[in-house]
Structure 1
């Protein structure tokens, strides 16, 4: 098939619609009664949070494109206007599913276990008294209700904040009737309040929503008037920051100036209570410049993600996943000297099954070792109170040459990264902010140590962030190595990031935006050539997203030549498997389970001389062309076999795997009759980690 025919829009799934389908798979975890009950509630919250970000970034971008009259379509040939209509249909259905699952399944099942969300019509006399006192002491002093009139225009409403529109009867203190008011819930207070155990009618785990408390007491905010209706609403805004990097002199200052605007970007979605009268919903839509397709009327709290707090407030291990202790690889030895262990052989860590602690410990030892002269590291997301940052600060204060490439534009972590950049600079570290026009997404650390009469490089390269919390929630690989060739490559990449000069070609590493895309095309083409020559062609790829059209066309051509291709794609996938004459040799599956699948693995059989790479990059345009990414080989045959075994485990999964059909729809696998149930995550957890 000619390349032009492979550009046929019918061969591609729209990336945004594919992302919505991923969220549907997450929501299915909340409906799956094989999962512990509080974990199902977490999955519901995650689905809600994912949908928030989808609107803040994806829908916001499409609305901007549509407003500008853009007609440019993706590989699937959907223009922004058409896509917005399809998204609206699908997201409305998805939101209905979320609230039906909450109200009809999860809330009743939680109540059976003693975890209750009490509605206003269920409150006892004692509960009403406690709630009234809570309102008067904790809420009333900090609420600022705003009646709407020419002197009190519609207030600015923060992105995703909880608000109420109130219908009023009667005249205010100045003899006027405004008819409506806005009440903004205090950001400082939790959205779910646990009732004190022991009060009449209260169980150990009874909760009320802050919104219910405000509803019940709202008339007290308007003396002399009567509140005839009180309805929650929430506005989602465009949260994508724009900084013209070519025009700013100081990226740090520019980012600091831009961050506040995120709270008040253009509105893209309005959520209101299901019982909100049509004329009030229309008033809000008009206020925010939205239309009916942007309105979501919901039967429950307008922000389901707030329910996540319950999982922390309730001490019920029987309703959560069993705890576990990540493994410490035996290669680390008993001496505690990580430099000695890494000199002996490369060490591969597979989080969360393997502990993240050796990574932080490696940096701690480097910070305190007088023979270590320099430390260089990239930071994309680290989380609060990061031990990694603490060790970098210690090293800088000890007089070591510490260079940190901090990515200020890590979405939704910009403010935190500005803070850690300032802290590192104050400690004496050299801090740079990456490359103009390219996010630094590579995960790498370089430690330079004097050993005898030479300087030896030690490296850590990973698929995930230097973030100890997500290392227990996301699956990622990390490699510790004293390989001199790999060390020289990492050194050259850091030189490029700091000096901005050209570097000579790399030996082992592939790097975006320079060699990674072409490197992948070349390796796919090599498998195609093997198949065309009658040799076995085999590709296994595990990534989060696959949407780059040239890569997809290369995979289609390889499939047509007979290459057997398995793609384990967590989220967006624009490739369609199983198309007659095009992708009959391609299979696509997605694994959704306890941990967020985050590893990027590229395996090429290469006619008996296999190559296996790990990477920070997904197969997306942004990762190939607009980011600095690294892709590194696993050269040790034992470690390579371990990763191949992990891939085989994921391909054998028949309980948490979803397979894509030729139309782009996903179907959850179940064990065949008589077959053993297989869960990759459970099997890896049992193989490596220890149950608490």
Structure 2
């Protein structure tokens, strides 16, 4: 949380915000990386919330740990590289890269300390009360010790390769985020030399938590032991004739961003395949080590992997809390988990022929509350319909064994013209996307990899069908990926439409992606990097004009991130002009709300709940003629300038009002909302009434 004094900001910034090219005072911007750490803190707070089921609270702890891993792999790694190259840049917030790395280290250390405090002092005792136990070595019964020793010899020892360190056995390459142990040894080795240190690497195939069978004396139905505890207990058996005087777990996080020169690549797929094999061996970014590891050992590790003390995190527990995500699946306790739900299928799509349903009226799906099955069925029917001539789709993330990909392959095998734009550079999904691209090509689909220098992030399907009137188009446009699993975990919208003007625009975007030709002027859609930013600015300006003409000005915008400086500038200008603005921003937000004379009509909230808030929705009141857009794009530089994105207007009056009702419900949430303060910190909403928007959507209150 920033230590900036909010009143001092207001005193210096009460004059109107200029629309000139001059940069705003950095104090009007919250640093995006620090804002992302704040979001991770909000996720961690869910692990403390006693209103949530216990095993779900454990999952939130794991998500906080996983988020922090990616933060170091990408964002911290990028900043370290900038400093290493001597490019000490300053962002819109005024922080230099060196200053920012210092602040990140301080806040990240505090966050990690809090993660382990929550684990050890909050969740472990609560789990113990529910007879779900992590057995410490000091408490093992003789029977448990015997079973675990046998488990070590049968299941672990054959796959462990201890590496004694000497000039012929240099420090090994450590895989990104892998579990390792540094072992101090006493005694002579097999060749009569004094022993020193050794490294033990735990293969990823090994389970990080081991369930002790219930029939072992003294064991309960849900008793577990950490893999690290088992290796620590019997590590002597890996070094015959020597004594292990210390065994300490550690983990190294590495730079995981792919460095691909897309301008020089003749075949992007081949280049990415080559780079992926090196991702696990990037530069070291962070060292996590057991809290009781002696100073000389962690300092040796730190120096060996070329890190500084600020990059070392000493932890009191397993070095990878995310591995605890496996626990809820091992414990059959429905009372400690969220109640299962069955997604709805809109009545309009319950008829057999999806095409006739969409022809009658636009259909809006709201995932995960509405089922994702109609999207899959739309493609399956298109694949089997003899009147369908062509299918075009963008794919960013689909997951493995995807029914979406299966339907596209079925269509291609049936002789239909199938064109798929696969974004090979979807971070951490590159390998899966290379695999699906090759599968689609093998069955005759046309596969392209988007535009060099611009990730294709738009979510679009276009079906060309022969009907009595001639060739007609059907489209699906969404805010989220075509991924059945995340459609049950993320909130997203998807629109089925027969509107031929929208469909023509979609056709033109696909034409651009495949032919690289210029697109004629769009009739309905906004597209980045061409018209989306300009379209949003024009609509903000229009609200300012309406206020000047005596009409109420109103903007409600929901997104994952808001960091683009020019849009922030416009929102400040709109606030000063009298426009009321509510922003629902899940993660990064660089705008400072509530500053007198600058942003006192802007309110920002973040909703963190059972489902990951993922949809992007933009509502402009427009003097009583409201516009609502759904989009694949956040208000970030990368989305607006360096990606192919789409924003789609909701033209049906009922569907538009439904979306406005949803946005208003988010603003009324008092259970899962956090309010951004002028100083960059967040305060949790008063939840006396306990109104949770996600639960209302699950209950069907807002259909």
TM-score norm. by structure 1 comes to: 0.98
Query: For structure 1, which segment, 399-408 or 681-690, has the greater mean C-alpha deviation from structure 2 after superposition?
Result: 681-690
2:339 and 2:249 mapped to 1: Cα distance? Answer: 37
Q: CA deviation at 1:352?
A: 0.6
> Which of 522, 527, 538 in structure 1 is aligned with 2:543?
527
C-alpha separation in 2, matches of 1:459 and 1:471: 19
Candidates 420, 439, 461, aligned match of 1:404? 420
Q: 2:606 aligns with which of 567, 590, 613?
A: 590
Is residue 2:698 matched to residue 1:685? yes
Alignment-derived partner of residue 10 in structure 2: none
Unaligned 5+ runs, structure 1: none
- The one of 448, 473, 482 equivalent to 1:432 is 448
CA deviation vs aligned residue, 1:494-549 (integer Å, no higher than 9, x gap) = 00001111111111010010000111111101111111222111000000000000
Give the conservation status (yes or no) of the 8 Å contact 1:326–1:689: no
Kept in 2, the 8 Å contact 1:327–1:688? The answer is no
CA distance in 1, matches of 2:23, 2:177: 42
| 1:370 has 2:386 as partner | yes
Q: Does 1:140 align with 2:157?
A: yes
2:662, 2:702 within 8 Å by CA — same for their partners in 1? no
SS in 2 for 1:282: helix
Equivalent of residue 500 in structure 1, options 516, 536, 539: 516
Determine helix, strand or coil for the equivalent of 1:411: coil
Distance 2:440 2:147 in 1: 48
**1:374–1:308 distance in 2 versus 1, CA, 3 Å:** same
Select between 33-42 and 679-688 the one with higher mean Cα deviation: 679-688
Task: Classify the secondary structure of the residue corresponding to 1:196.
Answer: coil
Which portions of structure 1, spanning 4 or more consecutive aligned residues, are displaced by more than 3 angstroms? 3-6
State the distance in 1 between where 2:563 and 2:270 align.
Answer: 34
2:551 is equivalent to residue 551 of structure 1: no
Q: 3-state SS of the aligned residue for 1:577? A: coil
CA distance in 1, matches of 2:347, 2:690: 29
**Alignment match of 1:76 (pick from 54, 75, 93):** 93
TM-aligned CA deviation for residue 689 of structure 1: 10
Shift of 1:453: 4.6
In 2, the alpha carbon distance for the partners of 1:54 and 1:296 equals 15
SS in 1 for 2:47: helix
SS in 2 for 1:7: coil
| Partner residue in 2 for 1:541 | 557
> Aligned partners of 2:702, 2:482: CA distance in 1, in Å?
20
Shift of 1:195: 0.8
Counterparts of 2:359 and 2:111, CA distance in 1: 52
**What is aligned with 1:341?**
357
Q: Is the 8 A contact 1:327 1:689 kept in 2?
A: no
Counterparts of residues 248-287 of structure 1 (less than 5 Å): 248-287=265-304
> Does 2:169 correspond to 1:157?
no
Q: Residue 207 of structure 1 corresponds to which residue in structure 2?
A: 224
Distance 1:247 1:539 in 2: 43
Query: 1:436 and 1:683 mapped to 2: Cα distance?
Result: 43
Aligned residue in 2 for 1:179: 196
The CA distance in 2 between the partners of 1:418 and 1:689, in whole Å, is 40
Aligned to 1:382, the other structure's residue is in SS state coil
- CA RMSD, 1 decimal: 1.1
Q: Which residue of 1 aligns with 2:116?
A: 99
Tell me what 1:581 maps to.
597
| Offset from partner CA, 1:325-367 (integer Å, 9 cap, x none) | 011111224x311001000000000001111111011111111
Alignment map for 1:458-537 (pairs within 5 Å): 458-537=474-553
CA-CA distance at 1:261 after TM superposition: 1.0
Q: Quick one: which of 62, 73, 79 aligns to 1:56?
A: 73
User: Secondary structure, in 3 states, of the residue corresponding to 1:193?
Assistant: strand
Q: After superposing the two structures, state which structure 1 stretch, 642-651 or 175-184, moved more.
A: 175-184
For the 8 Å contact 1:614–1:631, the answer to whether it is kept is: yes
Choose which of 600, 611, 625 in structure 1 pairs with 2:627: 611
Gaps of 5+ in 2: 1-15
CA distance in 2, matches of 1:223, 1:664: 56
Cα-to-partner distance string for 1:35-54 (whole Å, 9 max, x where unaligned): 00000000000000000000
For 2:59, the equivalent position in structure 1 comes to 42
Deviation at 1:677, TM superposition (A): 2.7
Matched length: 686
**In structure 1, C-alpha distance between the alignment counterparts of 2:120 and 2:100, rounded to whole Å:** 30
Residues 326 and 688, structure 1, Cα contact 8 Å, conserved in 2: no
* Contact 1:354–1:688 (CA under 8 A) maintained in structure 2: no
Cα distance, 1:176 vs. partner? Answer: 1.4
Measured after TM superposition, the shift of residue 688 of structure 1 is 6.4
Q: Match for residue 237 of structure 2?
A: 220
- How is 1:230-241 mapped onto 2 (pairs within 5 angstroms)? 230-241=247-258
By how many angstroms is 1:671 displaced? 3.6
Residue 634 of structure 1 is aligned with which of 650, 654, 662? 650
Greater shift, 605-614 or 663-672, is seen at 663-672
Partner of 2:12 in structure 1? none
